[in-house]
Structure 1
Amino acid sequence: MTLFLLDEDISASSQWSESTAARYGRLNFEEGDGAWCPEITVEPDSLKEFLQIDLRSLHFITLVGTQGRHAGGIGNEFAQMYKIKYSRDGSRWISWRNRQGKQVIEGNRNAYAIVLKDLEPPIIARFVRFMPVTDHSMNVCMRVELYGCEWLDGLVSYNAAAGEQMSLPAYSAYLNDSVYDGAVSHRCVWCGLGQLTDGVCGLDDFTQSHDTHNVWPGYDYVGWTNESFSNVEIMFEFDRIRNFTTMKVHCNNMYSRHVKVFRQVVCYFRSEADWEATPLSFSPVEDVENPSARFVTVNLANHMASAIKCQFYFADAWMLFSEITFQSAMYNTTLAPPKSGLTPDTQPKDDPTHKVDDSNTRILIGCLVAIIFILVVIIVIILWRQVWQKMLEKVSSSLIETFAYTHNQSSTTSEQESNSTYERIFPLGPDYQEPSRIICKLTAASKSTTTTAVQDGAPHYAEADIVNLQGVTGGNTYAIPALTMDLLSGKDVAVEEFPRKLLTFKEKLGEGQFGEVHLCEADGMQEFMNKEFLFDIPEDLPVLVAVKMLRSDANKNARNDFLKEIKIMSRLKDPNIIRLLAVCIYSDPLCMITEYMENGDLNQFLSRHEPEGQLALLSNAPTVSFNNLCYMAAQIASGMKYLSSLNFVHRDLATRNCLVGKNYTIKIADFGMSRNLYSGDYYRIQGRAVLPIRWMSWESILLGKFTTASDVWAFGVTLWEILNFCKEQPYSQLTDEQVIENTGEFFRDQKRQIYLPQPVLCPDSLYKIMLSCWRRNTKERPSFQEIHRALLEIQP
């Protein structure tokens, strides 16, 4: 995303005049004389002039942009070439080099066009300098921009033994840390960051590299042999004391070349001056059946530390790592300047062009003022909402008319219009738009009630006339075509009123803006229900049910949507879809009673189980066979096949929204969003829209298009969850912002997009189904009928 900069964050070595000062050096910024221009002409081989940016904290920077000065036709100055230097502490400056060792970056060819350059490898820095380069004496002006995100790992350096060379039959693989930016010798590297933090995971075959790298064999990995070391020690330095939950190590496991995941890791923690006496030890399960590279997650048990020293022990002759990441939270609240990871004599010094303000007092005062301002705004919003709700109550003499079993013949205009939060906000043109801008537009759309227009007069559910219901739990139950809603509106609701006194509360499953979901026992439901519905429970025992309850103070729109939701649910009759059993609508609070399965949701069910094998025998854990995994996946596909036949779009398909009954029976539900347990699965856009972005297709995130094809994408992610036994969140190695950035790569389709990796238990045939679900072109994705048929063929 584009990084926001204040004027005081941009400085320069010199300036031609006040109107060409550093603060004017921004892309598409026409103030002043239209760019930053140094005081003198730039000479060949001279790097005295530079434009410097202070990001105020460490950032992960992946893309830069440059532009010249045209000033409405008055100017014609630009930089044909430039170099970048960066620093994490304002003292030690590092020259950026690409993966082939080249420092000079090609810049602009005219004063108008913006030129974007991917930084391969990316840089982790607080300070960045753009330094124009020329082959002859010339006037140069520049406008620049940085793209990336804040570096949340807190890692500022790692020290390790230098990587080694592996001799292969036809050639050698060089397993050194090629982009390390600290001190390097033939024996070790220290005080820097490199390939273990560049965000690039190596391929299964370590001798191969990503197509765009054009480098030597072994480039993506750092590797060591047990002929040189009994174990490999890596020490990680962080910006401050942190509470560490996990460490993820991406390892190669090409055992045919004597490369395996580490046998054991022993980690020591240092919070202040001394190392803790008792280390933490972890041993992954050895895998000699699947040669795929994989992330190994090490539980760090919430240790507090500012440094971690890990000793990795060999399981075979070689050990190869391509990426190491940490999940942590800041422990101390003192706003101290981050550590550089360097020795004490290299601490920040005064810079004549830019001084680092280390005054904690000023920062603390600023934070307190901001907090007070935010509290005032919150109080005003709360008061405004209370006044507005009272006005609505006065205007409406009755919140809702009595709900009758015979519905009016005509539909209201509100049913005919689309209330989609995700209208087609903008057509993506040939120029790629940064995901940060897309997020802003999504946010703006979430505040708008503008409806999507019908294209060419066709009531096509995929792009227009979608009716979305604001469900009790704050999410959309199902998105359906307005045409289908019209057809439903003329039918009676085939559910009966259930006596509230026969419901016994057991626990609250979740809550949303308009209501709550409770787990209850219903007495006498077997006798009460329609004969077409068969319960596998004796008549004298209560039935486990989920009760969606609308709050009595809900507004009129919420109540109307609740009744529409009842209409829709009453028409869904499929063995793999949760059924609406009864309602309580004669008095407040309005309730709908649905099935609930005794084994809870599929996510929690699988996370408590293990695959069949030696590990399960040793841990005495309950197991689920591969055949049963396929059986459950086929049931989900069958349920979605039924929904798609009605042109219903679920929009939140995931294991958390699938319930498990006896004998691995699966039924699709919709109230996962309401559960605090899964709040981490949803991304909140500026406090309004809540999106399950890790399950969403690229067109749903970027274009706001929800179709059966986007449900197919979500099914692929759900299938990936199932084959991983829900032990890991999709794209766990990426932040929410990086997940959104990755959807931009799907849009650009330049083969840089990151796919979910093939699970260890997943055969190629199943992984091909997943990949087909994630095809960029929606028309090339399989239908649920095809997916269901393919899954049935896999089962024995």
Structure 2
Amino acid sequence: MLLYLLLVFQANANAQIDPAHCRYPLGMEDGRIKDHDITASSQWYETTGPQYARLNREEGDGAWCPAGLLQPSDTQYLQVDLGQLTFLTVVGTQGRYARNSGKEFARMYRLNYSHDGQLWRSWKNRLGNKTMEANDNAYVSVIKDLHPPIISRYIRLIPVTKMPTTVCMRLELYGCPWHDGLTSYSSPEGQLMMPPGYPIASLNDSTYDGAHERRKLSGGLGQLTDGVTGQDDFLVTRQYHVWPGYDYVGWRNGSLGSGYVEMEFVFDKQRNFTSMKVHSNNMFYRGVKIFSSVSCSFKPRLIANWETEPVEFRTVLDDRNPSARYVTVPLGRRNAKALRCRFHFADVWMMFSEISFQSADTVIPTQITLAVTSPWPKEESSMPTTHKTVTTPSTKDQPDDGNTPILIGCLVTIILLLVVIIFLILWCQYVCKVLEKAPRRILEEEVTVRLSSSSDTIILQTPPVPPRVSQMDHPYERVFLLDPQYQDPAGLRNKLPELSRSAETSACGGGYAEPDVTQCTPHQCFQSSVPHYAETDIVSLQGVTGSNMYAVPALTVDSLTRKDISVAEFPRHRLLFREKLGEGQFGEVHLCEAEGLPEFLGEGAPLPDRDGRPVLVAVKQLRADATNNARNDFLKEIKIMSRLNDPNIIQLLCVCVSSDPLCMVTEYMDNGDLNMFLSQREMESTLTHANNIPAVSLSDLLHMSVQISSGMRYLASLNFVHRDLATRNCLLDRRLTIKIADFGMSRNLYSSDYYRIQGRAVLPIRWMAWESILLGKFTTASDVWAFGVTLWEIFTLCKEQPYSLLSDEQVIENTGEFFRNQGRQIFLYAPLLCPPSLFELMMRCWDRDIADRPTFEGLYQALRPHVVQ
């Protein structure tokens, strides 16, 4: 029974895809994708074959190059076999640099994809464009998100040109395995909703990649598998520049000639199905409800007939809560390669945004089927009625040895045991259903989930509860049971009575812009402050160009003039744009080359040796139409940055403020940010040496940790508070020198690391101390908390996001548990690569009591002895 529950939990977790988190390198750069899985339509030389098309690698002559000049009419391609169905979300490309001897690259490309290597489809974005912009030089990698993502095994990248040219490319693909196994679904096309007084909602499946004939979609995948769930109001979309209703596929009752919508689902292999999850809109006051019931039939093979015994499920309709929700349909562990489900209307409209399946791809052979059927109740019940099927081995070939009564007795015993098991399964599903709907009071009733990082066992138990609980390694669906109020963090006032009292306290009240660095000690602030959710202060966390803004002791720009800026004015025309790193409300962050910068700055400039080549720099640029407040904030940021001078802090090199647009030029490192660097590497071993896999050693990781603590020690000495310390904000050069930066917040690549508050501000909540989220207090002590999370990232090689199994709302709720301090808070688990003493140091950084956390000076002194000099 426990094994069954674990399978259900694991299937549920695996089936849900979040494109914002599904961004892992799939193995081009690190060699997990083998040479024989990379092919091409042609190659110029043996040394520019497809096996050399690996991002950031310089083997052979540095890249894949198709034969001859690429003509605008040519279709040359690089093909990658991913080995399994994969949910692909990001593509990274480079040209051929070949140690400064190459200059070939592709400015545009198209993507084709296939499940089986036979039938190929063309990717297009949500607006129908098939061409994607690529590179404008031979060495800088360009990362492009796929909107919508691709579900496929085979990928073809097709360079595109407008004139005859030589093209070479390197590639990395990002995503995660597609555990659903779903290869296509068929359904009626979505319809238009034209309500009086509201915008017209087009509820069609706009990204469907299969056939579209006679108002029927067949043989493809689309919006129901793109990982984007619709919002409570179906007219509000999660994408920009699309029409109302875009996130949903919807049908009107009666328009299909029946009272149901029939959909067919085809999978990659025969599977053992446990459940189906359908994300459905329930805006009942607009005539939209979740389906009233569903009936699913099964095919063990595509050429077989549909089985006669369907699984039927009746939902509990909700006329009080208009929130969209997942409806879980148990499928009774039936074996099939295809399903046909009929969803029955409960009102005028029915709308779906996501459908996923939980199954095991190991199929148990079945010969005898025992069906236990419960009739539908006349009135709605909280316990769904299902047709459950249980199988036993066939007995038709067993010889008759005269012991027929004994055999009959054994069979009766087995049947009784199966009935008991069926009852337990039904009861388990009932309990899970109740838990899924239960409010958070379950936690207050002293029922806790104990999560173990060293085993795959889930134990429900009553107190006593261990004081510190680790995040478990294996997947599961939920830790906390959230009320709808947690959709909006302002609901914390209602959920945490302790936080709803007025914050009329001392001068220590926490704000984002001015931390408590001069008025009182952290311990005094903790003792005297009444917790509050500092919603009004959140906006100032992000600077005008989208990057993080340091919090410093009171600093104004009322009298700030050019003479207050201690860095020189750089000729603007010497900045050559290479890549947009990120953007904010009033400006952008660009990666540029600065010509002649070493000579301009003179001796002692903190620049790497570039052998006469232009220096890479990051340029924060304020748009010319920015408001006066934004200009003042930008000048304030220049003044802050000009005060920084430390080997482990990114420095302001020069500015362009004599004319618009205002710019500040800071250092940038050749190896990019630490998160990307580590996520593409493995720990040093004999295997990594033998296979030429990029690797780092434990000594390297400790060296990085010491440098970050040193840089933060310097900031703390100035009473500066970083507020967004993480590996994405640590840049790395070729000698593994770390410099702490501040523009990770502006980069789309890391958008999933930030939580947006009511559409206005973004917060790195997975790195934030509890008092920063609940009180709006950012101090050096909260930076220490973030440093502990950064250490955790380093020693997991950035292979996963902190608290990766928790949703953003669950992370916020866990923060409330830190505040209550009743032993229910969840801590990050100990990384396998991390020495026990170092993990103990991390745990001290996450101490609930601010005064008990170590200082950066103490952290530096504790870490430095571990580094080999």
> Normalization by structure 1: what TM-score?
0.49
Q: Normalized against structure 2, the TM-score is what?
A: 0.45
